[in-house]
Structure 1
Amino acid sequence: MAMMAIGGAGIASAVTGGEAQAAAAVVPAKVVHHVFFWLKNPTSTADRDRLIAGLRTLAAIPVIRALHIGVPADTEARDVVDGSYQVSELMFFDTVADQKAYQDHPIHRQFVADCEPLWRKVTVYDTLRVD
């Protein structure tokens, strides 16, 4: 099945059978940090672009294994799909301690200081991979 690269790491977009075991070896990161942002001005392209530019600065934090920044995809409308946010970030870390180091890193703190005025809501999903 297909694999897609995100940053320097790869993740499985779909796996079956023996491919699942191979995919686990491709994704060394154990912690996933997924953040969704709702802007105060949801139709403002300038605010969206400013947030995306701020998120890109986070890539310089060494403990981040991979970073994906996205906007809602124009996929099929279904009851289970929430496309109400304007921007998301998806990060991978090796450990919970690395994710904490990211939270405390000066670049992350500067990102929050610079971009917090842009958003009205943020939702975070942190997951730990189970082997």
Structure 2
Amino acid sequence: MKEKSRRKFLQNAGLATLASISPLSTEPERTKELFIHHVYIYLKEPNNAQHEAKLLEGLHKLANVPTIQYVHIGKPAETSRSVIVRDYTFSWMCFFKNIIEEEIYQTHPIHLDFIKEYSDLWEKVIVYDSVGPKKVS
């Protein structure tokens, strides 16, 4: 999909999502569960310090999306157990109050600009989304 048409698709999807949400029609379960969006980004040139710095700059800009409650930008830890994956460049993890807030993030202009401005730097992105109770007893 061309970048321009992908961006238009994301914008339209966001508008459709927003149009479907109203205080009267919001499903209670969609507002109760904490939503975690965890992204692993693999640079095309993992040893290129300039590309790494540029992507890090973009991630710091992305952290300004207002629906994000907490964000963590990480690098692979110096751990070495057989179950640990360390081949990514950056880990981007952000917490949202609920899935609705995350859907707003997906179509927010800051997020769309991030994709447009920095996607040429990465070769692969893996996303793990999860939901769960806001408070565990």
> Per the shorter chain, which TM-score range?
0.7 to 0.9
State the alpha-carbon separation in 1 of the partners of residues 132 and 85 from structure 2: 23
Matched pairs, number: 103
Q: Report SS of the residue matched to 2:72.
A: strand
Which ranges in structure 2 are unaligned for 5 or more consecutive residues? Answer: 1-31
What CA distance in whole angstroms lies between the structure 2 residues aligned with 1:87 and 1:48?
Answer: 9
Match of 1:35 in 2: 39
Does the 8 Å CA contact 2:33/2:131 hold for their aligned counterparts?
A: no
Bigger Cα Rg: 2
Report what 2:49 is aligned to. Answer: 45
Gaps of 5+ in 1: 1-27
* Root-mean-square deviation over aligned CA pairs: 1.5
Runs of 4+ in 1 over 6 A off after TM superposition: none
Instruction: Report what 2:81 is aligned to.
Output: 78
Match of 1:104, as an amino acid? T
Alignment deviations for residues 8-43 of structure 1 (CA, whole Å, 9 cap, x no partner): xxxxxxxxxxxxxxxxxxxx9700000000100011
Aligned to 2:98: 95
Q: Which amino acid aligns with 1:114?
A: E
Partner of 2:29: none
- CA shift in 2, pair 1:29/1:64, >3 Å: farther
Residue type matched to 1:85 in 2? Y
TM-score, normalised to structure 2's length?
0.72
The structure, 1 or 2, with the larger RCO (C-alpha pairs under 8 Å, 6+ apart) is 2
Tell me which residue corresponds to 1:119: 122
% same residue: 38
TM-score, with structure 1 as normaliser: 0.75
Name the structure with the higher helix share.
2
